[in-house]
Amino acid sequence: MAAPPLQPTLLGPRILIRPVTPSDWNEMFAAAADPAIWSVHPVRDRYKEPVFREFFDGALASGAAFSFVDRQTGKVIGSSRYYGYNPIAREIEIGWTFLTRAYWGGSYNAEVKKLMLEHAFTFVDTVVFWVGETNWRSQRAMEKIGGMRREGLFPRTLGGVEYQFIIFEIRKHAKAL
């Protein structure tokens, strides 16, 4: 069985989700250089250039990462990626997601997640989201789009440091968004 396409271009009413490219560096770093974006994230210093460079290089290397482009302005406003595709469990993760603050609190996150979920559900039954234990902002966003919390905390190492995460899941036939 061939691997599913993990880096398609997805088009929403206001957002273009397209594969991240090396030429996105300047715009993406400018979008991510706001400390408030990372204030409740496990890696709170991701707004610093060397830390974000590691994040960005990992996105490029993953072959499954995206740039979010505001269709009206043409500007990069965030990023996300698919990760950990498991064809046996028919599961994949959506993660490493961020949006610039100008796009918080509205429906942009829901639009991005809807597009990514719709694509993922063409080849999996469950999408998971690993959310930092202290990242209340993303936890609320997951609840808002219909994510169901799995029991317990789950460790993950980022940048050589182990953090605790909550896993939310959305199933293909569940009511979400």
Residue 5 inside a domain? The answer is no
Residue 4 inside a domain? The answer is no
* pLDDT-above-70 percentage for the chain: 98
176 pLDDT higher than 80: no
Question: What's the predicted TM-score (pTM) here?
Answer: 0.94
Residue 2 inside a domain? The answer is no
Q: Are 37 and 98 in contact (CB under 8 A)?
A: yes
Other C-beta atoms lying within 10 Å of the C-beta of residue 78: 23
CATH of the domain at 86: 3.40.630.30
Residue 1 inside a domain? The answer is no
| Total residues belonging to the chain | 177
Residues 62-82: pLDDT tens digits? 999 999 999 999 999 999 999
91 secondary structure, DSSP code: E
1 pLDDT higher than 80: no
Residue 82 inside a domain? The answer is yes
